Structure 1
């Protein structure tokens, strides 16, 4: 029994969708005071960062 061999053909072009990458968490400020080291990143809320800086620097 002989079968006809057919080439495999894609029905449609496979297009890979680019995944949306989350924004980078960039380092904004690195602060050292005595034995305390603080690193502030861009994902941190600015109000929280200001409150922390007020407490640490006062």
Structure 2
């Protein structure tokens, strides 16, 4: 009995578009002074961060 051999062929899977993630919000600075605790993240505008630091740090 002769068997016919067929090559194994990979099936094409539908490709899903990759999800675009927003950039991570990384911690830049964590500061404790007396009872005040500040955490600055990368999404914060640098001008605002500088103004806050000027008020907190003499």
| TM-score range for the pair, normalised by the shorter chain length | 0.7 to 0.9
Aligned to 1:46: 46
Q: Give the ranges of 4+ consecutive aligned residues of structure 1 lying more than 2 Å apart after TM superposition.
A: none
- For 1:33 and 1:47, locate their aligned partners in 2 and report how far apart those are by CA, in whole Å: 21
What residue in structure 2 maps to residue 14 of structure 1?
Answer: 14
Q: What is the rounded CA distance, in whole Å, between the counterparts of 1:42 and 1:55 in structure 2?
A: 20
TM-score (normalizing by structure 1):
0.76
TM-score (norm 2): 0.76
Gaps of 5+ in 1: 1-11
**Paired positions, count:** 47
Q: State the Cα distance separating 1:48 from its structure 2 match.
A: 0.1
Deviation at 1:14, TM superposition (A): 1.6
